[in-house]
Copies of this chain bind each other. A is one copy, B any other.
Amino acid sequence: MRVCVLSGGIGGARFTEGLRSTLGPDDQITVVANTADDIWLFGLKICPDLDTVMYTLGGGIDDERRWGRAHETWNAKEELLAYGVQPDWFGLGDRDLATHLVRTQMLSAGYGLSDVTRALCRRWDTGVELLAMSDDRVETHVLVDDDESDSGQRAIHFQEYWVRLRASVPVRGVVVVGLESATAGPGVVDEIEQSDLVVVAPSNPIVSVGPIVGVAEIREALRRTTAPVVGVSPIVGGAAVRGMADQLLSGLGVEVSAAGVGRHYGARDRGGLLDAWLVDSGDEAEVATLREAGVEAHARPLLMSDDALTTALAADTLEVGLALRDRPRP
């Protein structure tokens, strides 16, 4: 079986761990990761979502933070602070730095981000194929209030909003710079078309999944593919399972609920993304609301609190997806 996961960072990486556990050695998992969180800092190309997936599946992730490297030290960062160089808010660990150095040097040598990602992954033995959604530069910027600006607003990089401001200020808009002209990363369209199932991971719908499905070639492939597209809600009980998505969503008019995100994605047979949407068992009451909006929803336990629950969620997702696949399409 071939499964293609559209993923942001933490939630998608964790979900894919479950998928890897529940699938066998002959199955094939491809993760298409968001690259719109990427940022250039200190002359280095940093790809938070690609790295979170790579480190998580490669066993190198810090299990507490769920981002960055295990056994990390922060001496280079401390020194950068001592030099007074900005920004001072990004978590750049010493071990992590090596990844960015190799990546940046390969990019400078003319390799594409997909080639670089493949080269980095050789070390990590992730058991999946990790693809960049695009080799083109795509960057999510967030519009926030700024009294000192003539327009009353300014655009900041998503990382600044997320890491420095900890998503604590109102979001007036999101602009994904470069998205309109971005082409899909090598292999992405083929994978979506040839997979048996496409999973929209429990990732942020605006800044993680949004940019991936915003790439025109990917959007078209998702419309075209015969594979069912099954999404897993990142919202459980009316709040983001991890991270600080609540404010970002509500600021953009997306209701912070499993139903809200499901409606935001929309039903595939009505021009949206999803053939089916998994909401948490505790949100079962939302299933009916979703069905009214044309989104086929299923209630399952979504919390990936331990490995067994994570594997069970992946198995549930496969089950829902394969049932759709076996069902004759209208």
Contact = CB atoms under 8 A, between A and B. Distances in A.
Interface in A87-119: 93-95, 97-99, 101-102, 104-105, 108
A126 to B, nearest CB: 14
B123 A95 contact: no
A73 interface: yes
A83 B97 contact: no
A43 B77 CA distance: 18
Taken together, the copies of this chain in the complex come to 2
B73 A105 contact: no
Given A80-B101, A123-B84, A108 B43 contact: yes
A109 to B, nearest CB: 9
Interface residues of A, number: 30
A68 to B, nearest CB: 12
A85 B101 CA distance: 10
Nearest to A74: B94
Interface in A40-65: 42-44
B120 A83 contact: yes
A104 B43 contact: yes
Contacts of A43: 43, 101, 104-105, 108
A118 to B, nearest CB: 13
A79 interface: yes
Contacts of A42: 101-102, 105
B104 A76 contact: no
A75 B101 contact: no
A125 to B, nearest CB: 11
A75 B102 contact: no
Contacts of A75: 71-73, 93-95, 98
A93 B98 CA distance: 11
A73 B72 CA distance: 11
Contacts of A83: 98-99, 102, 120, 123
Contacts of A72: 75
B102 A80 contact: yes
A80 B105 contact: no
A177 to B, nearest CB: 21
A98 B123 contact: no
A69 B75 CA distance: 11
A105 B43 CA distance: 5
Interface in A177-217: none
The 4 residue pairs across chains A and B that have the minimum distance between CB atoms: A79-B98, A94-B94, A43-B105, A75-B94
21 contacts: A43-B105, A72-B75, A73-B73, A75-B93, A75-B94, A75-B95, A75-B98, A76-B76, A76-B97, A76-B98, A76-B101, A77-B98, A79-B97, A82-B98, A83-B98, A83-B102, A83-B120, A84-B123, A85-B102, A94-B94, A94-B97
